Structure 1
Amino acid sequence: MTAPSRFAAALRITLISAAITAVPGLAHADWRKAETRHFVVYSNGFERDLRDYAIELERIDQLLRTWFALPEQQDERRLPVYIVRNRTDLGIVAPELPERIAGFYSANFRDIRAVAVRAEGDETLRHEYGHHFMFRNFPGAYPAWFREGFAEFFSTATVSPAGRAAVGKTPFNSVRVLNNLRWLPMEAVLGGPPNLQDGRETAAFYAQSWLLTHWTLTDPDRRGRMEKYLADTARGVAIDTALRTHFDMDAEQLGRTLRAYLDAGPRYAELELGAASPALTTSALPDSANEVLLLDINARDGGPANQGPAVLDRARQAAERHPGDLLAQSMVARAELRWGDPAKAEQAVQPLLDADPTNVDLLLLMADARITAGDKLTDPEARERLYRQARGFLARAYEADPLEHRVYQSIAYSRRFTPDYPTANDVELWRRAVAIAPEVASNRAVTAEAMLNHGLVDEAEQVIQPIANDPHGRETPARIQRILTRIAEARAGAATSAPAGPAD
């Protein structure tokens, strides 16, 4: 993927600012939400379309669980999914997205959600949900090709209203790339990630990753062999050794095998899921959603700094038009935290919290306001005083919802300047945050670092490995490499200091 020019980026920000200013004029369709077992889907289209979309997502989840014989988990948090009308709306949510992108998935410190353009981003949404599903259910040390191949394999899955499912249909773009671009050497694919600055290399990597995943997942014998291959390479076995051990071929032979597989026409699998419709409820959002919901999603993610003044000004005006409205006041509080004044964020939230003292989102916003204000201070005592106040709100949030991962990460984050950080309790806080929301990659690096400070080398490695080969990871490769180096040095030190065995 090539980076856009500075002129194009500046032009896009200008256009987005204009679009944000025009949000009130878009208030012709009412926002509603549909709630199922695994999703909360928001849309400002027809209610019938919203229901169909939510049911389809729930069916895709059912398909994935059936495919992997995965039992349901209790108390699993639902994924918010926002269906926007067009790319202009998507640009308000995420101004820095390339124009050709029709949707995205984000799991970060602030929020977990997916966003897609209606009727354009379906495959993108299924691809990104594949990543979410893998992280939640199978976190592990997977190579980049398998991460992307897995998501792309399920991106074309379909389920009919009668419950007939198809898995492994061929993505048009992947086949076009495979038939028209030069293939990468398979050893480069197996050892990825690709050079994302080279569009052709990236396209070939993704297409070959899909083909390799398709070749393995659609055959029980190859699937079993691949599971052993992945387990070996995760333990540090060389790629060529693992390939010969489990597939009796080298990388060049694998490439020829995949070309023959492509020429034969990869087939897809069909399953019967049953015709029973998933349970679903729908409800209307307040009128303010027409004006503020897209801005709220933007503020949750903390968009680019150069759009801050436009978003903040728009947020303040919208909040003035909707006094006492939960959505509008929460939105302006997030915008104030990102680009404005933490004290004004508290002013927006406090009346709402007084009326609803166990609202977890409001308690988290108040804690964020105190932490953000503390981060701006240089006086350690004054800063710690604000952090302690934040932990008071977080304790109340824990009482209201002990399964909210943001509570644990925020408590641990607020303690990072204390002299005894990280204590064993801090490690447990990070451990709990990762356990509840394993898809939030940004928590894994800091958790691994805290564990290493307590000598928990094996556990630190388990925590960091799932993001070590992520081609889209937000953590810098340098930080991950420092953690992996610390793990290797700790192991080497332990081996050196181990007592010698008894003499023969």
Structure 2
Amino acid sequence: MMDRAGRETGTQAGTGIARRRRKWGALAWTALSICLAAPASAQPSARDRPHTGSSDIVVKAPGEAPAQEKADWKRAETDHVTVFSTGGEDELRRVASDLEQLHRLMARLYLQGSSEGKALKMQVILMDSRDSFQAMGLRDLRSQEGPFPRPFAQQHYYDPRESGDVLVIARSDQTIDLNTSRRFSSDCDALSAEGADFCTTAPRQLPLIRPWEAILAGAFAQHFMVTYLPAAYPRWYLDGIGALFSSVDIKRSGAIDYAAPPAGYRDVYKSYGYPQITDILTGRYLGEADGAQGWSPYTAWLMTHFFVFSKTKGERYDQFQRYMAAIRRGTPPAEAAANFGDMPALQREIVGYAGHDVAYSHAKAPDTPPPAPVVTALSPAAAALVTARAELDSRLSSFASGDEAGGQETGRDRWLARLHELTERYPTDADAQLFAAEAECRSGRIAECLGSAERVLSSAPDDASALTWKGIALADQAIVGPASARPARLAEARKTIERAIALDSQAPLPAIAYFESFVGANEPVPESAMQAMALAIQRVPAAPAPRLDLGRELIREGEQELAREVLAPVLYGAYDSPERKAAQTLFATAPANAAHPSTSAP
């Protein structure tokens, strides 16, 4: 299913980048072109016609329930994902293998992501229970789903970070209550149609169980899209992609069935209804509670399956492609939805589609199966860091977003104090000290950050991560220190970061730190730093912060339209984030030639 409109847009973008090569070196622009590359299609590459049918320390904020103390964490690693769990080793191995096979399936379908090592592996953390997941108090700062009704909401946490994406879910099945007032009325109407004079009671419906593995597969599929096909997608579409692959069925032979209807989907429609398609396509449902009525992962599956896998009329398919291409260009969803024309007719078609025999697709087993996951038992120090790493952005967000002090700020400080307890318990553990350095640098505690990095370097002078955090701390000290000493101190900081890059040229954080050492000092960014930042974005394509940093510098250099291409997934994509608000402000205050009518959030 090639996206004709999207392919034309990609060609025009490539031409624009080529014109700008005269300013920077070819390598920089080649790298930037790759990191900007929008997908030619947001759908599978071929439109297959489917067929039917020891007490470890756990760092937590005060007042939180204990997360997973005394837990034996294990790690399973494949070519494209790392999974952490305290469950059984056989289950962990199976989950990691299934995610790797799902990745390879999507790479075959979308013609992206087949090579190992381009993007950083996502870290998946499986909590023991729903209670332990909720006790972490994670905040959806850079990704959101739905909005869904309460029975379907808040089933996972996803954070696209500069250090690699993080996904957290509970190894606990979701229970969906089907006994709603809508269902009671529907059942009563059915009884009346059978001749009953009145309805005092209707049959009680058993709850629908949604396996946690389905939630995990759906979240992984969404991660694949924003990582390997980074572009501006409407949120409903990413919800739908997740739902399409949530029902993936991986056979022992390696063959895979996917896009099948989720179990019990028609019962969900009876109990929760259908959404107003107009509200979904125009994005009204994102801001108006009544506009989200009937919206759930099950209706997301229906809507996306209709457009992607059904035998829709050619006209409808073309309308959908034009709509998606318009969204990628930054057209407000309300305007893009005009491509569908008669909305009431589209509503009838999609609702009617739910009653049809719905198709699914089948992929043959690959010629070469993926290698088995490598499973490792974590050390006590590493185990203590698993949930702390997941919590990091949520705990530091009050500082990062400039919120006022009070409860959130105090919680952050106390969380950092608990982190120091951990590092004191494991003073020679490099991972513990490096995690402390990251948290301290990001909290503005520069001296503490430098001290943590130096402790690692004292025994491992070639540790690239430690050199990175040392360089960041030195650069920050130089920027806030005396102006007379700044050039020499910045030179020392950059020399330290350059050494980290030389030791690990594939790590994004040293490249980002090198770039930011110039931006933070309000100095022109050299070509080498621009090249490094472009390559870093390739490694973490879904992370909005590096795109914002690069976009800001491009605007400073007068490259507003290129900046808009870099920032398109942030400005117009599915997720709200602090970086989206900053990008909107960036373009709102840019020179007049940067003006664009569509910088508002969809």
Please confirm whether the aligned pair reaches a TM-score higher than 0.5, indicating the same fold.
yes
CA gap of 1:338–1:431, structure 2 versus 1, over 3 A, is closer
The equivalent of 2:517 in structure 1 is: 414
Does structure 2 conserve the Cα–Cα contact (< 8 Å) formed by 1:104 and 1:125?
A: no
Displacement after TM superposition at 1:231 (Å)? 2.4
Does structure 2 conserve the Cα–Cα contact (< 8 Å) formed by 1:367 and 1:394?
A: yes
Distance in 1, Cα, partners of 2:465 & 2:394? 15
Q: Which runs of 5+ in 2 are unaligned?
A: 1-59, 141-149, 174-211, 397-407, 597-602
The equivalent of 1:79 in structure 2 is: 122
The equivalent of 1:129 in structure 2 is: 220
CA gap of 1:109–1:253, structure 2 versus 1, over 3 A, is same
Does structure 2 conserve the Cα–Cα contact (< 8 Å) formed by 1:424 and 1:454?
A: no
Identical amino acids, percent of aligned pairs: 20
Distance in 2, Cα, partners of 1:19 & 1:191? 42
The amino acid across from 2:161 in the alignment is: N
Moved more, 29-38 or 97-106: 97-106
**Does structure 1 residue 169 correspond to structure 2 residue 260?**
yes
Does structure 2 conserve the Cα–Cα contact (< 8 Å) formed by 1:165 and 1:273?
A: yes
**Does structure 1 residue 115 correspond to structure 2 residue 206?**
no
Does structure 2 conserve the Cα–Cα contact (< 8 Å) formed by 1:445 and 1:464?
A: yes
Q: Which runs of 5+ in 1 are unaligned?
A: 1-11, 494-504
CA gap of 1:322–1:424, structure 2 versus 1, over 3 A, is closer
Does structure 2 conserve the Cα–Cα contact (< 8 Å) formed by 1:189 and 1:205?
A: no
Correspondences of 1:3-22 after superposition (within 5 Å): 14-16=62-64, 19=66
Distance in 2, Cα, partners of 1:358 & 1:210? 49
The equivalent of 1:263 in structure 2 is: 355
Measured against aligned partners, the alpha-carbon deviations of 1:141-198 in whole angstroms (never above 9, x if no partner) come to: 3333323322332233231332232222334697566444465543332221633573
Equivalent position to 2:156, from 87, 90, 103: 103
**Does structure 1 residue 305 correspond to structure 2 residue 409?**
yes
Equivalent position to 1:354, from 458, 477, 488: 458
Displacement after TM superposition at 1:432 (Å)? 3.0
Moved more, 203-212 or 158-167: 203-212
The equivalent of 2:346 in structure 1 is: 254
Does structure 2 conserve the Cα–Cα contact (< 8 Å) formed by 1:106 and 1:112?
A: yes
Displacement after TM superposition at 1:203 (Å)? 5.7
Equivalent position to 1:314, from 418, 424, 429: 418
Does structure 2 conserve the Cα–Cα contact (< 8 Å) formed by 1:196 and 1:202?
A: no
Q: Secondary structure at the match of 1:50?
A: helix
CA gap of 1:39–1:341, structure 2 versus 1, over 3 A, is same
CA gap of 1:260–1:384, structure 2 versus 1, over 3 A, is farther
Equivalent position to 2:539, from 436, 442, 445: 436
Distance in 1, Cα, partners of 2:476 & 2:135? 24
Does structure 1 conserve the Cα–Cα contact (< 8 Å) formed by 2:162 and 2:543?
A: yes
Distance in 1, Cα, partners of 2:293 & 2:587? 25
TM-score (norm 1): 0.80
Distance in 1, Cα, partners of 2:557 & 2:100? 41
Distance in 1, Cα, partners of 2:365 & 2:240? 24
**Does structure 1 residue 65 correspond to structure 2 residue 158?**
no
The amino acid across from 2:325 in the alignment is: A
Distance in 2, Cα, partners of 1:253 & 1:157? 31
Does structure 2 conserve the Cα–Cα contact (< 8 Å) formed by 1:44 and 1:84?
A: yes
**Does structure 1 residue 329 correspond to structure 2 residue 422?**
no
The equivalent of 1:456 in structure 2 is: 559
CA root-mean-square deviation: 3.7
Does structure 2 conserve the Cα–Cα contact (< 8 Å) formed by 1:164 and 1:271?
A: yes
CA gap of 1:488–1:227, structure 2 versus 1, over 3 A, is farther
Distance in 2, Cα, partners of 1:177 & 1:390? 57
CA gap of 1:415–1:181, structure 2 versus 1, over 3 A, is same
Correspondences of 1:196-207 after superposition (within 5 Å): 198=289, 201=292, 204=295
